[in-house]
Amino acid sequence: MKRPAFAAAVLLFACLKASGQTSDLQLLRNADFSSVQLQETPPAGANGFERAMYTVRRQLTGRDFYDPPNYMFFRQAVRSIGFVPAFFATGDRLLRDSRLGTVRTYLNPDDPVIHEGPEAYSPRRKALRAVGDRQGVPVSPGLPRGASGPAARWVSQDYDFAQYLIDNDLKLDAARLVGSGPYHQSDTLTFLKGWTEYQLKHLEQAGAFLNAVPKESSFYDRSFFYSNAISAHLGDYSGPVKRLEEYSGPYAELRGVQLAGLALLRDDPEAFRSAAESFRYNDFALEAAEREFDSIYKSRYEEKKKSPWLAAAASAVVPGLGKVYAGQLGEGISAFLLTGAMGAVSAEHWLKDGPGNWKTIVPMVIGGILYLGNIYGSYMSVSIYNQRINDAQTTAVLYNIHIPLRSVFR
């Protein structure tokens, strides 16, 4: 009985689909494989000189370890940090952009390039990043409503199915189910939409849906803490702090953990100390995050930081030494070898041709730019180093705001 019924249903499906289905031959005819081919095109926005440099660069050994590549960097740096700093920053960049210069840098195998624009050399970088603390995630003015009418039903009937789709990595199917299914509007539907968008890493939409789950809902606590983590990931630190301060639910320690993490993200040691008072260090789900936050607080506010001036002075005495002090051993060796080579070439011509000969002047000018660039780069390296530590800590904080939720709300 059931087999013929199923077969009939599948057959009818097939008939319905056949009307608009694309045949295999059509698919084969229309296929476009140009994306499979290796395309070689100059970087977007390159001018004539940069295109020429791109052509020459391909004939030289090594590869560009940095993005944007050096021949694109100077023009961008002039626009971003001014002519003179751009000059020295490019000199420093040339010294760093080698296998040796990046030897201790982690390169993602899928994207083995360091994405570092001229803003890395800007002292205002940190200030610019702080401005990134956005005032609240934009909540969609009109979240899609549920369906109505006789065909509509309650999504709670399909809750397990939606979870099954998510658990089996069929997230797009889950989004389709809750996004266009004939369901009545309900808190469960709002939560499921947010949860599915979250799984698809559509954070803005996920935050908007999860924020809209009302306090009365049984999904409220879960939605509340996840939406806070999402807001933090999107760069909004003040919104979740305000919401957490008003929270009076059962998850007091988790509230403290999120508040402490947000205090670190906002660079507010006072607020951190206040939030950390709720740490108990005995909850399996939260203990690691609490200890990590304590360690970041100690490293950021209680330990001495490296001095950019000392790095610059060290590089003035021995090229590359400031980079080693800044923790960039490869960059230091690379700077020492290249600057030293130019110095040796200049010295040879000085001795044989005299200081006024162009053969002396040219390597001296190039070596001088590299030398000054290296001093400037060493000064900036410490700030870049400090910024990298700060970035790593920010990543760790965001991770620890977010990951414990998976254990708390199983």
Partner 1 sequence: MLRQRLFCTISIFLCALFSASAQDWESLAVGYERIIYDGAGLEETNDALRAKADCYKQLGRWADASATLSRIRMFALDEKERAEVLYEQELCYFLGGEFSQAAVLVEELGDGSREALLLHALVLAYDGQYDNSEIYAARYLSWDGPSPRLQALLNLYAAHPLPHNATAAMVWSFFPPLGHFYNGEFGEGVLSGTLNAAALAFTVANFVSGYWVTGLLGGGIALNYTFMGNQERNAALVEKHRRNDAVDFGDKVRKFLLSE
Residues at the contact surface with partner 1, assessed by CB under 8 A: 1-3, 5-6, 9-10, 12-14, 16-17, 19-22, 24-25, 27-29, 31, 33-38, 40, 55-56, 58-62, 161, 164-165, 170, 172-173, 176-177, 180, 341, 344-345, 347-349, 352, 363
**In b/e form, how buried is each residue of 40-69, taking b as 16+ CB within 10 angstroms?**
eebeeebeeebeebbeebeeeeeebbbebb
**In b/e form, how buried is each residue of 113-145, taking b as 16+ CB within 10 angstroms?**
ebebebebbbeebeeeeeeeeeeebeeeeebee
Least gap, CB of 212 to partner 1 (angstroms): 24
Closer CB to partner 1, residue 35 or residue 282? 35
R_g of the chain computed on alpha carbons:
29
Beta bridge partners of 66: 114
Least gap, CB of 109 to partner 1 (angstroms): 18
Closer CB to partner 1, residue 59 or residue 135? 59
Residue 307 gets the label, from left (phi > 0), alpha (psi -120 to 50) or beta, of beta
Measured CA to CA, the distance from residue 67 to residue 113 in angstroms comes to: 6
Measured CA to CA, the distance from residue 151 to residue 155 in angstroms comes to: 12
Least gap, CB of 306 to partner 1 (angstroms): 32
Least gap, CB of 21 to partner 1 (angstroms): 6
Closer CB to partner 1, residue 115 or residue 176? 176
Least gap, CB of 103 to partner 1 (angstroms): 18
Closer CB to partner 1, residue 89 or residue 342? 342
Dihedral, 131, 136, 140, 141 alpha carbons, nearest 10: -110
Measured CA to CA, the distance from residue 14 to residue 267 in angstroms comes to: 60
Closer CB to partner 1, residue 54 or residue 74? 54
Residue 68: cis peptide before it, omega within 30 degrees of 0: yes
> Cα–chain-centroid distance for residue 140?
24
Least gap, CB of 299 to partner 1 (angstroms): 40
Measured CA to CA, the distance from residue 223 to residue 194 in angstroms comes to: 8
Closer CB to partner 1, residue 345 or residue 389? 345
Closer CB to partner 1, residue 166 or residue 312? 166
Least gap, CB of 34 to partner 1 (angstroms): 8
Measured CA to CA, the distance from residue 354 to residue 343 in angstroms comes to: 15
Contact residues for 215 (Cβ-Cβ < 8 A; gap 6+): none
Per the CB < 8 A criterion, the answer to whether 232 and 261 are in contact is yes
Least gap, CB of 69 to partner 1 (angstroms): 15
Closer CB to partner 1, residue 332 or residue 367? 367
